[in-house]
Amino acid sequence: MNKNTLAYKQQKAVNLCAAVFLAPVIILMAIFLFYPIVQTFINSFMKWNGISADKAFNGLYNWNKLIHDGDFWRAFLNNVKIMVLSLVIQMPIGILLATFLDAGGKKFNIFKILWFLPLLMSSVAVGYLFRYALATNGGIISSISQLLGGGKVDLLGNQKTALYAVIMVVCWQFVPFYMVYYIAGYSSISSDVYEAAIIDGATRRQYVMSVALPLLVPTIKSAVIMSVTGSLKYFDLVYVMTGGGPGTSTELMATYMYKNSFVTYNMGYGSAIAGGMFILITLVAATIMKVMNRGGDE
């Protein structure tokens, strides 16, 4: 291209302007997101306690340890359980609640407000709340069981039930998020579509099943991706509520990584766990995206 044309000069000015406006974001993301990811992978080849300045190159030792670390894979399995059950529980309930609110309109605002409440609490607060709400003495489930004539229930203290109790709490906290997400999906369907369906003699249920839900598929897909990546990087709530216990029954990749890095100060190995987590999350999310998109074409 001729360097003196007006178009070239103008494009150059556009490029410069774009660079100026993008610079702050790119710099911040480079410092706090991209550089740390690279550094984490570098650290994962080191033996390092995080405090002393000397890091010793450790080759593949940490990664080899990670691959043979039963605790890590058990934690991953717990993450997968959370992922699957979150999808199975949160998606249908979220869609049902949104469908109800969409059908009811403004007069159901009170439902919307109260259903939304759990999402306003921090994960830490939710974790503490349920640590006591699920306690053996004076907890909600225990009290219901006693009212019905049963004994006290210790959900969080039992290795067999603790993870499921955690999953229930996760669902309690995030169902409102998906509800709002699906409300957004519904409200993006133009009212013409609804009117056309009604004029054609469709009932509300027929409208939802054969018109609205197919139109919601893109929303559902992105909700699934969010739920999957969210489940695999879960931390705050579990760390506060159970600390990974009893035993390792509710240990997750993130809590395991945190304990190795900041409790026992084995930061080299902690970095390898973080790196492994990053790889696994990317793989799982990419696989699910691929499967869903293939399903969409057919």
- Residues between 137 and 176 with contacts to other proteins, criterion CB under 8 A: 137-140, 142-143, 146-147, 172, 175-176
Does residue 40 bind other proteins (CB under 8 A)? yes
Identity of the residue, 60 or 184, whose beta carbon is nearer to other proteins in the bound complex: 184
Identity of the residue, 91 or 253, whose beta carbon is nearer to other proteins in the bound complex: 253
Q: DSSP state, 144?
A: H
Least Å from the CB of residue 111 to other proteins:
6
Does residue 81 bind other proteins (CB under 8 A)? no
- Residues between 171 and 210 with contacts to other proteins, criterion CB under 8 A: 172, 175-177, 180-181, 183-185, 187-188, 203-205
Query: What amino acid is encoded at 271 in this protein?
Result: S
One of 77, 80, 125, 189 touching other proteins (CB under 8 A): 125
Beta strands in the chain (DSSP E): 46-47, 56-57
One of 29, 60, 193, 283 touching other proteins (CB under 8 A): 29
Q: Which stretch binds other proteins (CB under 8 A): 7-15, 69-77, 192-200, 242-250?
A: 7-15
Residue appearing with tokens 């009170």: 110
**Distance (Å, whole) CA 266 – CA 54:** 13
Q: Which stretch binds other proteins (CB under 8 A): 25-33, 56-64, 84-92, 154-162?
A: 25-33
Identity of the residue, 40 or 78, whose beta carbon is nearer to other proteins in the bound complex: 40
Number of residues that bind other proteins (CB under 8 A): 100
Evaluated on CA atoms 270, 275, 278, 280, the torsion sign reads: negative
Evaluated on CA atoms 217, 221, 223, 227, the torsion sign reads: positive
Identity of the residue, 186 or 249, whose beta carbon is nearer to other proteins in the bound complex: 186
Least Å from the CB of residue 121 to other proteins:
5
Least Å from the CB of residue 228 to other proteins:
9
Q: 134 vs 161, 242, 251, CA distance in Å? A: 12, 11, 18
Least Å from the CB of residue 22 to other proteins:
5
Query: What amino acid is encoded at 5 in this protein?
Result: T
90 contacts: CB under 8 Å, gap ≥ 6: 171, 174, 175, 178, 227
136 contacts: CB under 8 Å, gap ≥ 6: 142, 152, 153, 154, 157
Q: How many CA atoms lie less than 13 Å away from 215 in the CB half-sphere? A: 18
Q: Which stretch binds other proteins (CB under 8 A): 58-66, 72-80, 96-104, 243-251?
A: 96-104
- Residues between 209 and 268 with contacts to other proteins, criterion CB under 8 A: 218-219, 221-222, 225, 229, 232-233, 235-236, 240, 253-254, 257-258, 261-262, 267
At residue 55, the 3 state secondary structure works out as: coil
Does residue 288 bind other proteins (CB under 8 A)? no
φ/ψ bin of 2: left (φ > 0), alpha (ψ from -120 to 50), beta (otherwise)? beta
Does residue 50 bind other proteins (CB under 8 A)? yes
Identity of the residue, 203 or 264, whose beta carbon is nearer to other proteins in the bound complex: 203
Peptide bond connecting 118 to the previous residue in cis, omega within 30 degrees of 0? no
| Of 39, 35, 27, the residue nearest 274 (C-alpha) | 39
Identity of the residue, 36 or 247, whose beta carbon is nearer to other proteins in the bound complex: 36
